[in-house]
Amino acid sequence: MEDTIFDKILRNEIPSEKVYEDDDVLAFKDINPKAPVHVLVIPKRKRQRFSEYRNVESDEAGIFMKKISSVAHSLGLDESGYRVIFNCGPHGGQEVEYIHAHILGGKKLIWSAG
Ligand code: 5GP
């Protein structure tokens, strides 16, 4: 499996602005934010793409979803709302081959599917 920038962030080999960490996930600020709040959440158990989740145990995927929701809550976004995005593969615009959820918020987001 390709070693990515997010593997290095997880191993603390390169710095990141962490906003949450536990045994299952790490959340850190996106280096090139597309909204006032732009946080990336990665599972510590590496998966490369969202498409792999069809083959994983429900618990693993479910825990990841719960943690993404908890991170958004801890960022104070529940009332105003936010967007969660998984880019998957070339057509999805995925640049880093380590599954990650984008949490975007802090303003009214426009919708563009590309
Ligand atoms: P993707 O296009 O793969 O869904 O999103 C990758 C995201 O990772 C982009 O929004 C990009 O700004 C972010 N990113 C790339 N390199 C770094 C980095 O070194 N540190 C942080 N914090 N974010 C990064």
13 torsion bin: left (phi>0), alpha (psi -120 to 50), beta (else): alpha
pLDDT in tens, 47-58: 999 999 999 998
CA nearest neighbour of 101 among 60, 56, 64: 64
Q: What are the distances in angstroms from CA 56 to CA 47, 52, 76, 102?
A: 10, 7, 30, 21
Question: Does residue 114 have a pLDDT over 80?
Answer: no
| Level-2 CATH architecture, domain 5-105 | 2-Layer Sandwich (3.30)
Distance 96 CA to ligand 1 centre (A): 7
Distance 65 CA to ligand 1 centre (A): 20
pLDDT-based confidence at residue 63 (cuts at 50, 70, 90): very high
* Spans of all domains in the chain: 5-105
Query: Does the active-site annotation cover 100?
Result: yes
Distance 89 CA to ligand 1 centre (A): 14
Give me the amino acid identity at 43.
P
- Name all residues whose Cβ lies below 6 A of ligand 1: 5, 16, 28-32, 40, 87, 93-96
Place of tokens 């593969």: 89
82/57: higher pLDDT? 82
Instruction: State the pLDDT at residue 85.
Output: 98
pTM (two decimals)? 0.97
Mean pLDDT, rounded, of the chain: 96
Atom of ligand 1 at shortest range from CA of 86: 4
Instruction: State the pLDDT at residue 13.
Output: 98
Mean pLDDT of all residues in 21-37: 98
Q: Which of 32, 34, 47 to mutate to test the pocket of ligand 1 (most atoms within 8 A of CB)?
A: 32
Q: What are the distances in angstroms from CA 24 to CA 27, 43, 83, 104?
A: 10, 6, 21, 21
